[in-house]
Amino acid sequence: MTPQNKPVSMVLVGLNFGKHIFKQLIENRETLPIELVGLCDFNQDKVNVLIKEQPKLKSYASLDEILSDPAVQTIGLYTGPKGRADLIRKIIRSGKDVMTTKPFETSPEAAMAVLQEAKELGRVIHMNSPGPGLSEDLATIKRWQQQYDLGRPVAARTDVWGSYHEQADGSWYDDPNICPAAPVFRLGIYQINDLIQLFGNVKQLSVLSSRIRTGRPTADNAQLNLAFENGVIANIFASFCIDDGDSYRNGLTLNFERGTIYRNVGPIRETFDQASLSLVMGHDHATRHVADKYLSTHQNGSYHWQAFADAVNGKPDAQSYDFEDVVEPLRVLNSLAQAEQTGQTVAIKRERVCATNTSNP
């Protein structure tokens, strides 16, 4: 196996959510380009439970111990988003690369700074959403817009839900300042990322939220309204209160001047393991028709493990990030608490950044 194709070694840090990544990496270890070699969490009991399942994994007592181990190439970082940039900076300065999760950070300024530093150091930072480059479904949408001359985008409506019965546990999920409009913040972030990759910068936003059955002090039912700088108006509905057999479907309706694209929309989806896209066009009832259909194999929010391994191994064609695709959603999230707590429309604030190329090689 050549150096550019070999699996990369990884230690998972933070097992509250990281336990799900543990399961994914273990169950798919024969096909994924990631070799899980160790675990770390401030709660040693969580480490012990998983190592009992996989005794060959090493238990690390601290992040410093991991960073001093030359056998470890990458860190799977699954701590909370607040202050995550500081941990990532420490990791990349040690010469290791990072896979993490959404939301990347709570501070847009801190996020941009650490992404730019990673570029300067030649280190890799990836996350599940947004992924590097356009996902298969978004690339199809962009292609159809040109191929079928759909014109300018006009509006978008998205929805995502699941059925939760959560209780307060003192985690960041309970803090309305860190986790505002909670279903949007935790589930709707995927739709926020999608819409920003499609439409660019957001001008202003507003929030509606409610608590229906949650035991947490944060909302379990919410809607985010977005006005984009290019004139597109969009909304994202997200809820923890719906059980209809189709959780996390990430429905999306996109209206263009001369057509509408649907993703995972309708009473019964064609498939649950692929994203279903349909383009509808026509001038009246008689001419309205499905002009094109597509099934995308990549699911919204899935981890791009191969792209990450390619970047870590230095493949010249490895996919890269436009840093604005990472930071602009954080500007939106950074305004959610104010919008939720005041009930007012909030303009997006933009930090000053250096006038440099913001693409990660």
**CA nearest neighbour of 342 among 177, 215, 195:** 177
* Percentage of the residues of the chain whose pLDDT score is greater than 70: 95
Q: How far apart are the first and last CA of the chain?
A: 24
Q: What is the pLDDT of residue 352?
A: 63
Q: Rounded CA gap, 153 and 170, in Å?
A: 42
For residue 187, the surrounding DSSP H or E stretch is: none
Whether 99 and 10 have beta carbons less than 8 Å apart is answered as: yes
Tens of pLDDT along 251-261? Answer: 999 999 999 99
Whether 124 and 97 have beta carbons less than 8 Å apart is answered as: yes
Domains, the chain, ordered by start: 8-130+302-317 (3.40.50.720), 136-296 (3.30.360.10)
Q: What is the pLDDT of residue 12?
A: 99
Whether 38 and 14 have beta carbons less than 8 Å apart is answered as: no
Q: Which two tokens stand for residue 72?
A: 């470890």
Of 6 and 53, more confident: 53
Whether 207 and 181 have beta carbons less than 8 Å apart is answered as: yes
Q: Rounded CA gap, 256 and 150, in Å?
A: 6
Q: Rounded CA gap, 307 and 317, in Å?
A: 10
The region that residue 245 occupies, defined by phi over 0 for left and psi between -120 and 50 for alpha, beta otherwise, is left
Q: Is pLDDT at 192 greater than 80 in this prediction?
A: yes
Lowest mean pLDDT among 38-42, 64-68, 153-157, 267-271: 267-271
Q: Is pLDDT at 358 greater than 70 in this prediction?
A: no
